[in-house]
Structure 1
């Protein structure tokens, strides 16, 4: 029996995550099954359990990958810009979120169940990357807001990260929801991820008063 290499395992994991990401474009988390995933991979349903114990683990790995892509954008921002005003930083950070629609959508899921139904090892892997995203944003503050105190940076992070978890429901509203809001007398005004993020970041950074 041929030896299974680490590269082989990682490739199969990526294939499963890719399949999950594709299905998530048109299906909800609750409707996606291992059978559905198997249909669009080279694996059968039983084989998938060799790489992920639960569906929640697959989605956690999917979210981890999206966080990793965001971190790359944050690192690129710090490396490519020498100086940014606070309003320019708000603009650049909003742009990084505008590219991460999949991540923002995944954030709307029930994290309590998703993390609870994942192995400890997978959860630690995810938390490491999540922590790196916080440090990535902190690095941006360190670089472009040298006059910001450490306690102000902490306040920013504790406000910013919970905020981004609530963006997606405001930018992806279906016709049924729009009709319900109209009947309930709730005004709906469409805003993009960028618009919502930029407006919030301006306030958190004090960009209206510190350019």
Structure 2
């Protein structure tokens, strides 16, 4: 007879395994939203999910794989949000597109945080199979976003739309880190007037850059 409590028993059926994996991913999501991706360890995730660390490693390779899965999810959610907002419109402006892309990015703070970590460490501590899965999921979302943006703004060629989306994802990741400094650094910015400008307001800064980039791509950008 199995005397272990249900939440720590090993999942054996496929459906149970999927539920267990989902609980691990949700634990990582909750912790990362609260503490920031950088501060969350695999031990933290295991404790939040009510599992031993060794049990978590039956479902994922590493902590980084969990966060890579969440990043792929973020790409999909970004594409969905943009598509739902733009619908079938074909009469958009550069300003509208830039503002919408940025707003839907900033609406996903965990995604913005994760974007800065992908190339830096997430892709470097998983198997090539995990990287491939992530890349293919991201490519699907990127293709959807490219098509949606090109339909909304016909004067933006697909290669240019792809460039815009890729560049914005990089900017969002970098700017999010600056816009959300750790408490000690935030206090320093608040207490030292000469450093106040270093605290970035994410949405306005990202939107300004997006408008400039989108305008440049429309007027003289990538066509092939």
TM-score band by shorter chain is: 0.7 to 0.9
Structure-1 separation of matches of 2:164 and 2:38: 34
1:44 to 46, 52, 56: 52
How many equivalent residue pairs?
A: 208
Residue in 2 that maps onto 1:64: 72
Structure-2 separation of matches of 1:25 and 1:153: 30
Structure-1 separation of matches of 2:183 and 2:54: 38
Give the 3 Å change call, closer, same or farther, for CA 158–123 of structure 1 in structure 2: closer
1:200 to 191, 206, 209: 209
- Segment of structure 1 superposing worse, 128-137 or 155-164: 155-164
SS in 1 for 2:121: helix
Structure 1: runs of 5 or more not aligned? none
Residue in 1 that maps onto 2:119: 111
Structure 2: runs of 5 or more not aligned? 1-9, 220-224
- Segment of structure 1 superposing worse, 120-129 or 189-198: 189-198
Higher RCO, 1 vs 2 (CA within 8 Å, ≥6 residues apart): 1
Structure-2 separation of matches of 1:110 and 1:82: 33
TM value normalised by structure 2: 0.76
Give the 3 Å change call, closer, same or farther, for CA 43–151 of structure 1 in structure 2: closer
Q: Which has the higher helix share?
A: 2
Cα distance, 1:101 vs. partner?
0.6
Asked if 1:98 is matched to 2:106, the reply is yes
SS in 1 for 2:60: coil
Structure 1, residues 153-208: CA drift from partner, whole Å, max 9, x if none? 3543453333222120232134422455575944426554321222122112229x
Give the 3 Å change call, closer, same or farther, for CA 185–15 of structure 1 in structure 2: same
